[in-house]
Amino acid sequence: MAYPIPLTAALSGATVDQLAYWRKTTATHPPLLVPEAKRGGRYLYSWADVVALRSIVYLRQVKSLPRIRRAVQTLRSIEPGEWGHLANYKLVATGTSIVVMTPSGEVLDVDEHAGTVMDEVLLRDVLNGFQREDGHHVPAMAQPRDHLSVDPGILGGYPVVSGTRVPFDVVAGLADDGYSEAEIIELYPSVRSASIADARSFAQDVAAAA
């Protein structure tokens, strides 16, 4: 299952305008990330796309966008035969540069000293929750709410009620349509009151990101 743009924005921490800008080709660089899927002329992002976007948002707090674009372009040129998807690489900012861990476990400098193999580096997990520079909290990728989960092995990583395959927006939609908690639980016995509240809360974040 693919992510529409508002959901991509809510989970990645990028704004809708940033997503559009990062899909564009500039005078000097190719797009940072363009999703392969489209429906009705609208882009649809994958779980891997969202992970990659979180890396960009995370780095964006401490490095300029031109430096991030150059780093990604350098990475593509360093591993032309291996390049698959940006989400396969863990990017992190050090004090002076941007480094990346490749799928093979090698750590490369892709900024200040491009192509240099690093022996070791502390890599922060961009899947954890973090704060943008403007104070906005980007939720943990695997658990955007206490009772919601994101697992690429379940519905392609679409957010669901934890422990189920019930999409969060189905639950939120029923609640918004006037169904009581008891009626929703009768329809989906694995859903609980706290799950319904979290589904509605996250749905509000997604709507606000649109």
Quick: pLDDT tens for 124-135: 456 788 888 888
Q: Are residues 24 and 104 in the same domain?
A: yes
**Cα torsion angle, 2, 181, 143, 210, sign:** positive
User: Could you say which of 131, 154, 172 is where a domain stops?
Assistant: 131
Same domain, 103 and 158: no
Residue 137 lies in a domain: no
Residue indicated by tokens 């189905």: 170
Residue 144: pLDDT over 70 = yes
CATH code for the domain of 162: 1.10.10.10
**Which of 131, 152, 171 marks a domain boundary?**
131
Same domain as 16, residue 105: yes
Are 156 and 187 members of one domain?
Answer: yes
Please answer whether residues 56 and 68 qualify as being in contact, where contact means their C-beta atoms are separated by less than 8 angstroms. Answer: yes
Tokens 């002076």 sit on residue: 96
35 and 99 both lie in a single domain: yes
Domain presence at residue 177: yes
Kindly indicate the confidence band of residue 118, based on its pLDDT and cuts at 50, 70 and 90. very low
* 68 and 123, same domain (yes or no): yes
Are 88 and 156 in the same domain? no
Is beta strand 137-138 parallel, antiparallel or unpaired with respect to 130-131?
antiparallel
* Band of residue 54 on the pLDDT scale cut at 50, 70, 90: confident
Answer yes or no: do 43 and 111 share one domain.
yes
For residue 123, what are the contacts with CB-CB under 8 A and spacing of at least 6? Answer: 90, 92, 101, 107
Asked if residue 147 is part of any domain, the answer here is yes
116 and 48 in a common domain: yes
Residues 116 and 146 in one domain: no
127 part of a folded domain: yes
Both 73 and 40 in one domain: the answer is yes
Q: Which of 2, 11, 85, 86 is nearest to 42 (CA)?
A: 2
Q: What is the tens place of the pLDDT at every residue in 16-33?
A: 999 999 999 888 778 888
Give domain status of residue 20, yes or no.
yes
pTM (predicted TM-score): 0.75
Report the candidate in 150, 136, 147, 130 with the shortest Cα–Cα distance to residue 50.
Answer: 150
Q: What is the tally of structural domains in the chain?
A: 2
User: Is 136 part of a structural domain of the chain?
Assistant: no
Cα 171–chain centre separation: 22
Q: Which of 101, 131, 161 is the last residue of a domain?
A: 131
**Per-residue model confidence (pLDDT) at position 19:** 95
Range of the domain at 44: 5-131
Q: Are 16 and 114 in a shared domain?
A: yes
Residue identified by tokens 């392969």 is 36
